[in-house]
Amino acid sequence: MTGPVPARRPWLVPALVAVFVLISVLEVWGLTWVGVRIGVLWTLAILIAEAILGAWLMRREGNKAWRALVDAYTTGKMPSGQLADAALVLVGGMMLILPGFFTDILGLICLLPWTRPMARRAIGLVVARTAARSGFDITSVRSPYASGTVVQGETVDDPESPTDPPVVSGEIED
C-alpha cells in the first residue's frame, strides 16, 4: 500500500540554520544586556543556577514521564501523551542547561508540569495544521482488508507456561 509522496522542502535546512543563528544572536544580545545592567558575576551566577535547576527539573520530571510511559505500556494504553511529555522534558531540560535566557524560558515551559500541557497542545495544533495543509486525511488510511472481511483466529485463555531453560554443562544447579 503506497501513499502520496511527501513534498520536498529544499528551503527547510536553510530556514533551520537561520533560526538557530537568530536564536544565538538573541541569546548573546540578552546576555550582554543583562550583564551590563546587573554585572557579569551576577549574570554568570544566574546562568549557573538555571543550569542546576534545569538538570534537577529534568531528572525529576524525566523520572515521572518515564514512569507514566511504562504504566501506559503495561496497562495496554496508547502512550501518546506520555511520549509527548517525555520528548518535551528532554527538550526542555536541554534548553535549560544551555546558557541563555530565551532558551531557559522555553525550557521551563516544556519542563514545568503545569505549563507542559499547554506546550503539548500548541505542538499538537502546529502538527494538525501542517497535516491539514499537506492534504493528509486520517480517513484515507485504510485497512488492507476489505470492509466486512472476517479474519479467523482463536482465543487462548491460559497459555502454556514456558518451559525451564536448558541447563548448560558446567553450571552448578542449586
Q: Which of 8-17, 111-120, 137-146, 161-170 has the highest mean pLDDT?
A: 111-120
Write down the pLDDT at residue 1. Answer: 47
- What HEC string does 23-71 produce? HHHHHHHHHHHHHHHHCHHHHHHHHHHHHHHHHHHHHHHHHHHHHHHHH
CA distance 70 to 79: 9
Query: What would the pLDDT profile of 40-63 be if each residue is shown by its tens digit?
Result: 999 999 988 888 888 888 899 889
Over residues 136-162, the mean pLDDT reads 68
Measured distance CA(125)–CA(123) in Å, rounded: 5
Q: Specify the higher pLDDT residue, 154 or 1.
A: 154
Q: What angle is formed at CA 168 by the lines to CA 164 and CA 172, rounded to 5 degrees?
A: 90
Q: What is the pLDDT of residue 54?
A: 83
DSSP 152: -
pTM across the whole model: 0.64
Matching residue, cell 511529555: 85
Report how far apart the first and last C-alpha atoms of the chain are (Å, whole number).
55
Q: State the pLDDT at residue 37.
A: 95
Is the model's pLDDT at 129 over the cut of 80? yes
